[in-house]
Amino acid sequence: MNIKLGELLIFWYARNKRNLPWRKTKVPYLIWISEVILQQTRVDQGLDYYLKFVKRFPTILSLASATEEEVLKYWQGLGYYSRARNLHATATYIRDEKDGRFPHKYDEILKLKGIGPYTSAAISSISFGLPYPVIDGNVTRVISRIFGIKENVNSSEGLNKIEKKLKSIFISESPGDFNQAIMELGALVCKPSNPDCAHCVLSTKCIAFKQNLMNDLPNKTKARSPKNIYLYYLVMKFKKENIYFVYFNKRQGNTIWKNLYDFPRIELQKKEKKSKIFNRLKQSKFLIDSSFEIGEIMGPIEHKLSHRNIYAYFISISLDGDLEKNNEEQLVDVNELEYEKLPVPKLIENYIKKYHNWV
DNA sequence: AATACGGGGCC
DNA sequence: GGCCCAGTATT
């Protein structure tokens, strides 16, 4: 008896898989949403977002009918917000151009905004039973260990080897189960550090295990260290008809947190003295013609991203009244109730929750 | 081929 | 403090 490696994987998966909501369906829309949420995101982090998202937007049509702002609000805190913008854009595209039906072919799915090779293969295999193997971080790790692939998996050479070996064990009769099985093994057993080889169904066939290379594989290019930036947010408050408002800024352009809201800000590469900040502040285009009073400064609040270490300061500023609107930034005056509907970056959410007072 | 894009968990 | 995560788009 010579059981195939792929069969072993599927057998293990059947007995050990987690009970996750998107595993109870094959509906392309739901698989799509789950796969996009899980891009660069762990199940634990994405699970609640998935449940709330599909409850509010249960169909392609409901998602297409919503505003992007509301979709972003449901995404708030999850990061990589282009995912949410692309989901919304693609939903409207499918509604308007595809008769509301999700495409059925790998190549068609691949063309959709926000869907790359991984996600198209995942949807194709899980929803439509098409024989496309997925390659994600889990698969790369599992394959490189099983076959002892030492090439840098970030290189095209390494990736080609991964792909070739993966195809050699792929079970095209059960593509969805195979794909989820190998990812599940990567997530639960063949973990990045301290893999649980003692409980791995593949250990006897695993080169990394046999040669004790588990902690050396996969061989990856190490990430560059993040850059420090210093943000000085202007929290401009004023009173209108006995209600307190703050100016928020809808972020424009192709940059971080696009279409989310924060405050007008001064961005610096280095930490500067308060006096220098105040000088910059008084000359800022928002305040140059207004009368105002500087209140307390909060911070720094540290906010660490994969590519940035942000040190954020929040400068409370009391205005006498309305500001003249500035064209370059999209300023909106927002009160406490209106704020609840606005999508904001986690950093801003943290500040508001912990430190901001509206009056 | 390299970089931007978020945020959280683990060691 | 670095590494990694059910990646994609852009340069």
Among protein residues, the one whose C-alpha sits closest to the C1' atom of B5 is: A80
Distance C6 C1' – A243 CA (angstroms): 46
Task: Give the end of a domain, one of A161, A180, A210.
Answer: A210
Catalytic residue, from A35, A97, A108, A267: name it: A35
Check residue A73 and give its pLDDT: 98
Judging by beta carbons within 10 Å of its beta carbon (0-12, 13-18, 19+), is residue A88 exposed, middle or buried?
buried
Check residue A98 and give its pLDDT: 97
- Confidence class for position A278, pLDDT limits 50, 70, 90: confident
Residue A359 in any domain: the answer is no
Q: Which tens digit of pLDDT belongs to each residue from A235-252?
A: 999 998 999 999 999 999
Residue A221 in any domain: the answer is no
Q: Which nucleotide has the shortest C1'-to-CA distance from A305?
A: B6
Among protein residues, the one whose C-alpha sits closest to the C1' atom of B8 is: A45
Lowest mean pLDDT among A82-96, A199-213, A311-325: A311-325
User: Chain C positions under 7 Å from a protein CB?
Assistant: 1-11
Q: Which tens digit of pLDDT belongs to each residue from A305-333?
A: 999 999 999 999 998 877 776 656 789 99
**Same domain (yes/no): A263, A302:** yes
What is the CATH number for A245? 3.90.79.10
**Same domain (yes/no): A251, A196:** no
The structural domain count of chain A equals: 2
- In the predicted structure, residue A20 carries a pLDDT above the cut 90: yes
Task: Give the end of a domain, one of A181, A210, A239.
Answer: A210
Distance B10 C1' – A326 CA (angstroms): 45
**Same domain (yes/no): A164, A265:** no
Q: Which nucleotide has the shortest C1'-to-CA distance from A116?
A: C8
Q: Which nucleotide has the shortest C1'-to-CA distance from A306?
A: B6
Helix, strand, or coil here: A265? strand
CA angle A241, A242, A244 (to 5 degrees): 105
Distance B1 C1' – A153 CA (angstroms): 13
**Buried-exposed string A58-79: b where 16+ CB fall within 10 A, e elsewhere:** eebeebbebeeebbbbbbbebb
Residue A219 in any domain: the answer is no
Residue A21 near residue A50, CB atoms below 8 Å = yes
CA angle A11, A137, A108 (to 5 degrees): 85
Footprint of strand B on the protein (CB under 7 A): A 40-42, 44-45, 77-82, 154-156, 193-194, 221, 224, 254-258, 303-308, 345-347
Could you give the CA distance from residue A90 to residue A71 in angstroms, rounded to a whole number? 12
**Same domain (yes/no): A92, A197:** yes
Residue A57 near residue A66, CB atoms below 8 Å = yes
What is the CATH number for A163? 1.10.340.30
Residue A168 near residue A236, CB atoms below 8 Å = no
Distance C5 C1' – A41 CA (angstroms): 5
Lowest mean pLDDT among A15-24, A71-80, A281-290: A281-290
**Same domain (yes/no): A171, A246:** no
Distance B2 C1' – A2 CA (angstroms): 44
Active site residue A35: yes
- Confidence class for position A205, pLDDT limits 50, 70, 90: very high
**Same domain (yes/no): A92, A136:** yes
Check residue A326 and give its pLDDT: 61
Instruction: For residue A269, give its domain range.
Output: 227-354
Task: Give the end of a domain, one of A155, A177, A210.
Answer: A210
